[in-house]
Amino acid sequence: MQLFATTTFQDIFKSSFLENLTSVSLLDMAIALVLAFCLGLFIFLVYQKTYSGVMYSSSFGVTLVALTMVTTLVILAVTSNVVLSLGMVGALSIVRFRTAIKEPLDIAFLFWSIAVGIVLAAGLIPLAVVGSVAIGVMLLVFVNRKTHANPYIVVLQCANHGAEERAMAFLREHTSRCMVKSKSARKGEVEVNVEVRLRSDNTDFINQLSDLEGVHSAVLVSYTGEFMG
């Protein structure tokens, strides 16, 4: 004799979906989201102060705040249900992000936002707050710290080889390091890009360099290895 299982309306309303409505209290959700917003805003402000790229993107800063809050929601859901955590791991494993990260430091901010969301949702509020403050202070101190030891590029336009030699001798005398990066020669003009390290913050030697005989122009720009500006 075969028995057939029957499902009643009472069994439907006793489903685990309805039971999960109270798995995370409204107070816990409110506290976690408010803290996530505050720490995400702090990350956003640090990003604004330390940005050193070519073009600032305000949407990326807003993304940091949203990413912190979204991560907090995901981890709250995962910690409330073991079965849900396994399913979410499988769902997130198929997500692929194709947006190129132009600045290496942006990766640190992305991981910072994700880490804060995870730590907050796990209930480790002091760790999230103290860790964020420590990371923020470190970034504010070390990022965009410009000194005379930073590399610079001198763009020289000279009339001939003799003027080029005089200009290079002048640079070696007034800088701590001088190395030719590129050189192009045309009839009646020689252009040289020279990487230099300054001995002090004084850049008046560029004025004297441009006054040398045969030197048409001398331009000093900061150099990061990726762009000049």
Name the 3-class secondary structure at 112: helix
Q: Is residue 14 part of a domain?
A: no
Do 199 and 133 belong together in one domain?
A: no
Do 33 and 132 belong together in one domain?
A: yes
Q: Is 37 exposed, middle or buried (0-12, 13-18, 19+ CB in 10 A)?
A: middle
Position 58, amino acid: S
Do 106 and 198 belong together in one domain?
A: no
Do 80 and 178 belong together in one domain?
A: no
List, for residues 90-110, the tens digit of each pLDDT value. 555 555 656 666 677 888 888
**Helices 58-80 and 26-50: angle between axes, nearest 10 degrees:** 150
Do 136 and 43 belong together in one domain?
A: yes
Q: Model's pTM, two decimal places? A: 0.60
Give percent helix, percent strand, percent coil of the chain, each to the nearest 5: 55, 15, 25
**By residue range, what is the domain housing residue 180?**
151-222
Q: Is residue 166 part of a domain?
A: yes
Between CA 27 and CA 25 the distance in angstroms is: 5
Do 31 and 130 belong together in one domain?
A: yes
Signed CA dihedral, 115, 119, 125, 131: sign only: negative
Between CA 40 and CA 202 the distance in angstroms is: 40
Do 125 and 88 belong together in one domain?
A: yes
Q: Which of 101, 129, 100, 99 is nearest to 115 (CA)?
A: 129
What is the number of domains present in the chain? 2
Domain boundary among 142, 166, 196: 142
Q: Which of 112, 78, 76 is nearest to 92 (CA)?
A: 78
- Going residue by residue through the chain (229 aa), what tens digit of pLDDT does each one get? 444 445 554 554 455 555 555 566 778 788 888 999 999 999 999 998 888 766 667 788 888 899 899 888 888 877 766 555 555 555 555 556 566 666 778 888 888 898 998 888 888 888 989 999 999 999 888 886 665 567 788 888 888 888 888 888 888 888 888 888 888 888 878 888 888 888 777 788 888 888 888 888 888 887 655 444 4
Do 31 and 134 belong together in one domain?
A: yes
> Do 111 and 68 touch, CB atoms closer than 8 A?
no
Do 73 and 32 belong together in one domain?
A: yes
List, for residues 140-177, the tens digit of each pLDDT value. 888 866 655 677 888 888 888 888 888 888 888 888 88
Do 51 and 137 belong together in one domain?
A: yes
Between CA 107 and CA 130 the distance in angstroms is: 21
Between CA 24 and CA 135 the distance in angstroms is: 30
Domain boundary among 122, 142, 162: 142
Say which CATH number the domain at 181 has: 3.30.70.260
